[in-house]
């Protein structure tokens, strides 16, 4: 399979039978070298075989090997005669990022650093297995109504919903399709980070690249912000597992053939397709609520440390956006609007300025796109750009460049912690041993990823964020 350079930051995979579309990868030359070593290009080509896929099988600059789809993969299939594939969403359904601004400066944080980190350490459940902020009895309401249910039960602020993708609730949720096993796993995890690359990070805005967008988002240079990265925990993982089992059996009835069994799929309009979308939406509602509750607890941690109320912290929500979803959206294809099922697997929705689905106060500048780095590296706030070439999608993070096994062999968790603390980043890990799996050297250069997003018109730079404290699973 040959990969050819199309432009400075675009690479192509030629369409060959039985591929239905070509492949398109957004990457600089150094980033592309890592992609080729990872062989994720094979998965980009495999996705191009999906029935009903249009335009191309896309991959963002943080692309790396995943389940079925590459992480960083984007595929649009027609609702009328295309398919939906759980591999295009992933096991951590509706994993995403929430960014909270504040009224504090870095100097303020440094004065109360120990107290803030101790409060977060005490309040934020993390790691594998159980641990929750909210009681398990809320699970049914949360699966139905997402962040709105958490709000009604006393978590967060009404204004938060305006700054969430889909107002923090996925349409078409069918909680009855979420298995008892999935519900049981979720009950003990409502309001928790989990493990792996999930985190709650305190950051400082150290660069502003777009004054107008930054002002609209409520960001200013020197401001302390809080970024939360997590998803649907065990409930989402179990829901994906359950649905894959059903879908793999159904594929044969629809006579669908794909080059990789991990690309199991069924027609969007089929009973099985609608069942997956309903179960996925319910699991997504868990994720929206999960981040909402964690943000509530972060506000209280800062308030206690500074001896004030949460309302006086200035900790307003910038935005909450998912990067593991399949959504029905209308986009223009061959000059006409068409209803599509947009699979974003490790890719962020990036609506352009003027999009009617954006909050009124953000419409002039476009949707915030949140691109976290890794411990010890920057994160980015971008904004949706006019003329996005990949169905209004952008990168979701730095993207792994080293397996967890290799990362652990490179340094111990204790060594990673010392290095971070020496760099002025306070660390509160759920497991010191596992820190090495998520060390900065295990990830691509997030600045390079942001550069490619900007150059390829996937999303435009707004602000760069520098970490000063991290709570890690």
pLDDT at 279 over 80: yes
Q: Which CATH topology does 3-401+443-472 take? A: tRNA-splicing ligase RtcB (3.90.1860)
| Residue-level pLDDT at 211 | 98
| Residue-level pLDDT at 97 | 98
Give domain limits for the chain: 3-401+443-472
- Residue 36 CB contacts under 8 Å (≥ 6 apart), including other chains: 3
The mean predicted confidence, pLDDT, of the chain is: 97
- Give the integer Cα–Cα distance in Å for 206 and 162: 26
pLDDT in tens, 345-374: 999 999 999 999 999 999 999 999 999 999
SS3 95: coil
- 8 Å CB contact between 404 and 419: no
pLDDT at 388 over 90: yes
| Residue-level pLDDT at 129 | 82
Catalytic residue list contains 252: no
Across 39-149, the runs of DSSP E, i.e. the strands, are: 57-64, 71-78, 83-84, 96-100
| Residue-level pLDDT at 249 | 84
pLDDT-derived band at 275, boundaries 50, 70, 90: very high
Q: For the chain, what percent of residues have pLDDT higher than 90?
A: 96
Q: Which stretch of DSSP H or E encloses residue 341?
A: strand 336-345
pLDDT at 1 over 80: no
Structure tokens belonging to residue 53: 């896929």
- Supply the pTM of this predicted model: 0.98
**Distances in Å between the alpha carbon of 11 and those of 7, 26, 262, 319?**
7, 6, 24, 31
- 8 Å CB contact between 382 and 461: yes
Of 49, 64, 296, 396, which residue is the catalytic one? 396
Residue 309: exposed, middle, or buried by beta-carbon count in 10 A (0-12, 13-18, 19+)? exposed
- Bridge partners of 467, per DSSP, are 203
**Distances in Å between the alpha carbon of 34 and those of 169, 183, 385, 399, 403?**
36, 38, 26, 10, 12
SS3 142: helix
């Amino acid at each position: 399979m040959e990969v050819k350079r199309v432009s400075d930051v675009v690479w192509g995979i030629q369409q060959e039978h039985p591929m239905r579309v070509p492949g398109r990868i957004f990457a600089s030359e150094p980033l592309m070298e890592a992609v080729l070593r990872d062989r994720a290009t094979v998965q980009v080509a495999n996705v191009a075989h999906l029935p009903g896929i249009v335009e191309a099988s896309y991959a963002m600059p943080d692309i790396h090997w995943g389940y079925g789809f590459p992480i960083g993969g984007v595929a649009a299939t027609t609702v009328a005669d295309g398919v939906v594939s759980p591999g295009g969403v992933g096991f951590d359904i509706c994993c995403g990022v929430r960014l909270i601004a504040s009224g504090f400066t870095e100097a303020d944080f440094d004065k109360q650093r120990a107290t803030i980190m101790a409060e977060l350490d005490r309040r934020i459940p993390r790691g594998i297995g159980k641990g929750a902020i909210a009681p398990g009895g809320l699970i049914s309401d949360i699966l139905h109504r997402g962040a709105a249910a958490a709000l009604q039960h006393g978590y967060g602020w009404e204004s938060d919903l305006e700054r969430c993708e889909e107002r923090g609730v996925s349409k078409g949720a069918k909680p009855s399709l979420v298995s008892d096993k999935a519900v049981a796993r979720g009950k003990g995890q409502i309001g928790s980070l989990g493990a792996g690359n999930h985190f709650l990070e305190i950051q400082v805005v150290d660069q502003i690249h777009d004054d107008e967008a930054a002002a609209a988002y409520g960001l200013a240079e020197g401001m302390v912000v809080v970024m939360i990265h997590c998803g649907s925990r065990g409930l989402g993982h179990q829901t994906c597992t359950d649905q894959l089992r059903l879908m793999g059996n159904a594929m044969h009835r629809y006579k669908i053939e794909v080059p990789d069994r991990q690309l199991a799929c069924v027609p969007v309009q089929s009973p099985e397709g609608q069942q997956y979308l309903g179960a996925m939406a319910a699991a997504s509602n868990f994720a929206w609520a999960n981040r909402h509750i964690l943000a509530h607890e972060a506000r209280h941690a800062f308030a206690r440390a500074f001896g004030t109320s949460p309302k006086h912290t200035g900790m307003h929500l910038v935005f909450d956006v998912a990067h593991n979803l399949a959504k029905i959206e209308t986009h223009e294809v061959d000059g006409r609007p068409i209803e599509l099922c947009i699979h974003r697997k490790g890719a962020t929705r990036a609506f352009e300025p003027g999009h009617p689905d954006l909050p009124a106060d953000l419409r002039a500048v476009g949707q915030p796109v949140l691109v976290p780095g890794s411990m010890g590296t920057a994160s980015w706030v971008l904004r949706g750009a006019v003329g996005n070439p990949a169905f209004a999608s952008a990168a979701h993070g730095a993207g792994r460049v080293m397996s967890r096994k290799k990362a652990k062999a490179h340094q111990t968790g204790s060594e990673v912690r010392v290095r971070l603390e020496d760099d002025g980043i306070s660390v509160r890990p759920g497991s010191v041993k596992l820190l090495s799996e998520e060390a900065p050297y295990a990830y691509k250069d997030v600045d390079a990823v942001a550069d490619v997003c900007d150059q390829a018109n996937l999303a435009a730079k707004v602000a760069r964020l520098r970490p000063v404290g991290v709570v890690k699973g």
